[in-house]
Structure 1
Amino acid sequence: MKISYNPETDVLNIYFQESPVEKREREKPDRILDYDKNGNLVRLEILNASQGVTNPQRVEYSVILPNPVTEEAKLLSLSDRCAFMQLPLEERRRILAAQTEVMVEHYEQDTE
């Protein structure tokens, strides 16, 4: 992905891929969407960007990496949740404390 802003023309472009544009749609008077021949979004163009974007010269991004799904990390069904609530309080606290440690490690490694 590539982002460019031209302060002289006040145009912000977000390029999602490098493909020839086959179709162009004006979503709103100041937003133009470009698509490739397969209908995939190629670019979002925002005209008069300084009026619609808080600060078009500032970019923040984050990358969310998928974690390998372990047996414990799978989503819990309603019956699993009910079973968890039936556990003794100390056992629930132990499980939650272990999950908290994993989350703390993740956020400590996050440089954002």
Structure 2
Amino acid sequence: MRVIYDSETDTRTVIFIDTPLVESDDDWLGVILDYDEAGNLVSLEVLDAWRRVGLPYRIECLVVPSGVSLEEGGGGYHLEHSTVRTIEDSRGEVK
């Protein structure tokens, strides 16, 4: 997965798989979903990212170990059961 922030266009793109796009859906205001030939979600793009997600160049990656439920502990996950990594790149690209 790649997450790219383009400061020139103020867009944040999350690319799930690297495959050709055949269809885009922009039914949601400010969000574009891209699909491959099989109908799988390939990527999503958030327009006006600074306004919609704040600090669009900041990413937190939460890795939940096998056997730990996200519902554990009253409907929320516990960070002590997980590994959290925050990535900030002033250039706007996180890989």
What is the aligned-residue identity percentage?
Answer: 36
Taking only aligned residues, the RMSD between alpha carbons, in angstroms, comes to 2.1
The TM-score with structure 2 as length reference comes to 0.68
Distance 1:8 1:61 in 2: 24
Ranges in structure 2 where 5+ consecutive residues have no aligned partner: 68-78, 85-95
Distance 1:46 1:65 in 2: 29
2:93 aligns to what?
Answer: none
RCO comparison, higher one (Cα < 8 Å, 6+): 2
How many residues are paired up? 74
Distance 1:8 1:60 in 2: 22
Given that residues 65 and 82 in structure 2 are in contact (C-alpha distance below 8 angstroms), is that contact kept between their aligned partners in structure 1?
no
Distance 1:65 1:39 in 2: 29
Ranges in structure 1 where 5+ consecutive residues have no aligned partner: 68-105
The TM-score with structure 1 as length reference comes to 0.59
> Any runs of at least 4 consecutive aligned residues in structure 1 with deviations exceeding 6 A, and if so which?
none
Q: Which has the higher strand share?
A: 2
C-alpha distance 110-63 of structure 1, shift in aligned 2 (>3 A): closer
Larger radius of gyration: 1
Q: Does 1:36 align with 2:18?
A: no
Alignment of 1:70-85 (within 5 A): none
1:66 aligns to what?
Answer: 66
Give the deviation of 1:32 after TM superposition.
Answer: 0.5
